């Protein structure tokens, strides 16, 4: 069982906000911090008690804020330091927590540290980044091309695991560790409650091996979050590398490193690679979720429950049926994921069942990864084939402005939006969903309320159950109360329920009671167990 500080995090319902696309309050077509403050009551109503704010620091936006120019200032388009103070204040007044996005692996090439570092080999900042006379290996940038870039100023190559404008910080230099501790402390003093930590598995490098889980990773993370000033924080590390033993070590409470990690095993379903669709059923999603749930539970570790974020197309567009059975798919996935044991993360737009968008031209995209990928793809295929891949896997699917309603500006802006809206904005938007008989939003609200009110669903243990083919089931149990969750997959299915199934607590088919018998496509049911 989870004890102490991590136990509380099991009841955190964290809403991820991509500020650029959330709500524009000053009519420039770009979302801003005041827009976030304006929607706090909306989020509370949904059952959210914390937000993770994607980077809002000063940035030239080569990678939409993940290229930080100043960790202690706000991006001009998003507002001011006063706006963030007001947001933190308003959140705390409502009993909500705020998690900032910390980007410790790299800065923008416009950051003062890099501007100084590139000037010479012997100034106070010269070792803040990794410099080489020649590339030491053949690492590739995550956004395409070599990970090493020649810099005229210094006459050497620097490492950039991501875009050219995102040089990697050299954590071997103790001054860098100190700088990043000071950044963390600055935001802790501002009152934030935690951090989502960008590509944390990459900050320690092994230039003879892979660019992740380097030899000093534990030490560096501990230096950030294992201090008296930081131990109480909620910290979630982004960890793309799929290594369960390392993940388990980093999340072990006694090590004072991270509260939990995002891992992406269940994100890789429905695709051969990020841009190539392969049909995959719910069973595969369940197998992967279940394996991680069991392994994290073994040692009482905190698991992170999420389906979507700003780095992938929508999950319900990769599995299930996001056309005819969009409501059913979205609600079934929600039950399968958020009734498990862990901290919950919900991405903006997910709560009303957003799906992938479909555009004709690369001009309608903004993302550096998609643009680089498109340039590569058209070397070997037609523009139509290339754009289809970008439509499927591109990060802009989840980054397009929020569709609060289906009108002009979608309730997001009164100006031209910084990026075109989803092509489905008139059909899939919050207002329409809330007015519909089958509302994804209402299902999320009911699910989160049930979670909150039911200790078995927050702090309870997890045990897989077997009801036969084509569905999954599990039991959550705490303090003598037991809850039983059944999720049917795509086909209609005869399901024999355990005799002990009592009151029906939640249904996505509007049932008031449910007995052994036929389950509809993607039907879920949650029972009290007698």
What residues make contact with ligand NOJ under the rule CB under 6 A? 63, 66, 103, 162, 198-199, 238, 310-311
Two tokens, residue 507: 């249904």
Q: Which of 322, 311, 318, 315 is nearest to 396 (CA)?
A: 311
Output 284 or 311, the one with its CB closest to ligand NOJ: 311
Report the residue number, 390 or 448, with the smaller CB distance to ligand NOJ: 390
In angstroms, the CA 195 to CA 237 distance is 8
User: Per the residue annotation, which of 32, 83, 193, 238 is the catalytic one?
Assistant: 238
Q: Which C-beta is closer to ligand NOJ: that of 368 or that of 525?
A: 368
24, 62, 77, 198: the active-site residue:
198
User: CB of residue 369 vs ligand NOJ: minimum separation in angstroms?
Assistant: 7
What's the N-to-C CA distance of the chain in angstroms? 23
Rounded Cα distance between 385 and 408, Å, is 30
Q: Which residue is nearest to ligand NOJ (CB)?
A: 66
Contact 22, 35 (CB under 8 A): yes
Tell me, rounded to whole angstroms, the distance of Cα 475 from its chain centroid.
26
Query: Which of 261/459 has CB closer to ligand NOJ?
Result: 261
**Is the separation of the CB atoms in 410 and 335 below 8 Å?**
no
Closest distance of CB 101 from ligand NOJ, Å: 8
Q: How far apart are CA 134 and CA 137, in angstroms?
A: 9
For residues 460 and 454, give the distance between their C-alpha atoms in angstroms, rounded to a whole number. Answer: 9
Q: Provide, rounded to whole angstroms, the least separation between the CB of residue 4 and ligand NOJ.
A: 29
Give the DSSP H or E segment for 329: helix 326-338
CB 100 → ligand NOJ: shortest distance, Å? 14
Which of 13, 180, 228 lies closest to 99, judged by CA? 13
CB 462 within 8 A of CB 443: no
**Residue 198 known to be catalytic:** yes
The nearest distance, CB 170 to ligand NOJ, in angstroms, is 17
Distance in angstroms (rounded) separating the CA atoms of residues 159 and 316: 36
Are 185 and 233 in contact, with CB atoms under 8 Å apart? no
- Report residue 111 as tokens: 């950051």
Query: In the bound complex, what is the minimum distance in angstroms from residue 161's beta carbon to ligand NOJ?
Result: 8
Burial class (CB in 10 A: 0-12, 13-18, 19+), 41: exposed
| DSSP symbols for 210-252 | -SSS-TTHHHHHHHHHSSTTTTTSEEEEE--S--HHHHHHHT-
369 or 477: CB nearest ligand NOJ:
369
Q: Quote the least distance from Cβ 103 to ligand NOJ, whole Å.
A: 6
- Residue closer to ligand NOJ by CB (options 162, 392) is 162
The residue (of 167 and 320) whose beta carbon lies closer to ligand NOJ is 167
Residues marked active site are found at 198, 238
């Amino acid at each position: 069982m989870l004890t102490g500080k991590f136990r509380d995090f099991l009841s955190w319902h964290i809403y991820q906000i991509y500020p650029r696309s959330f709500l524009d309050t000053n009519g420039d077509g770009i979302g801003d911090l005041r827009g976030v403050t304006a929607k706090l009551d909306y989020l509370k109503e949904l059952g959210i008690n914390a937000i993770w704010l994607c980077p809002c620091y000063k940035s030239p936006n080569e990678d939409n804020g993940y290229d930080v120019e100043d960790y202690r200032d706000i991006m001009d388009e998003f507002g001011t330091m006063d706006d963030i103070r007001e947001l933190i204040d308003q959140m705390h007044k409502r009993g909500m927590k705020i998690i900032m996005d910390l980007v410790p692996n790299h800065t923008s090439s416009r950051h003062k540290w890099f501007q100084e570092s590139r000037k010479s080999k012997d100034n106070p900042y010269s070792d803040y980044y990794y410099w080489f006379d020649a590339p030491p290996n053949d690492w590739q940038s995550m956004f395409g091309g070599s990970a090493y870039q020649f810099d005229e100023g210094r006459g050497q190559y620097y490492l950039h695991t991501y875009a050219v404008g995102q040089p990697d910080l050299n954590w071997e230099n103790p001054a860098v560790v100190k700088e990043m501790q000071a950044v963390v402390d600055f935001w802790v003093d501002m009152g934030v409650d935690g951090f989502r930590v960008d590509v944390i598995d990459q900050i320690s490098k092994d230039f003879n091996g892979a660019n992740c889980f380097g030899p000093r990773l534990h030490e560096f993370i501990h230096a950030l979050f294992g201090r008296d000033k930081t131990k109480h924080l909620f910290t979630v590390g982004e960890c793309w590398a799929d290594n369960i033993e390392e993940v388990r070590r980093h999340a072990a409470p006694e090590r004072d490193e991270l509260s939990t990690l995002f891992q992406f095993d269940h994100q890789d379903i429905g695709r051969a690679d990020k841009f190539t669709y392969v049909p995959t059923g719910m069973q595969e999603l369940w197998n992967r979720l279940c394996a991680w749930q069991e392994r994290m539970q073994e040692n009482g570790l905190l698991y992170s429950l999420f389906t979507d974020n700003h780095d992938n197309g929508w999950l319900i567009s990769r599995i299930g049926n996001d056309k005819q059975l969009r409501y059913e798919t979205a609600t079934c996935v929600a039950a399968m994921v958020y009734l498990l044991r862990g901290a919950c993360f919900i991405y903006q737009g997910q709560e009303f069942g957003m799906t992938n968008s479909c555009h004709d031209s690369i001009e309608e995209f903004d993302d550096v990864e998609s643009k680089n990928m498109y340039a590569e793809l058209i070397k070997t295929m037609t523009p139509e084939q290339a754009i289809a891949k970008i439509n499927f896997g591109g990060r802009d699917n989840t980054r397009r402005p929020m569709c609060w309603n289906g009108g002009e500006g979608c309730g997001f802006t009164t100006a031209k939006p910084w990026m075109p809206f989803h092509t489905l904005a008139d059909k899939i938007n919050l207002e329409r969903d809330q007015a519909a008989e089958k509302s994804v939003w209402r299902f999320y609200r009911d699910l989160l309320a049930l979670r909150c009110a039911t200790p078995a669903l927050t702090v309870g243990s997890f045990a897989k159950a077997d009801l036969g083919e084509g569905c999954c089931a599990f039991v959550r149990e705490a303090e003598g109360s037991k809850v039983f969750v059944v999720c049917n997959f795509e086909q209609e299915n005869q399901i024999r329920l355990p005799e002990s199934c009592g009151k029906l607590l939640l249904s996505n088919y509007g049932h008031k009671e449910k007995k052994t018998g036929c389950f509809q496509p993607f039907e879920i049911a949650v029972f009290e167990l007698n």
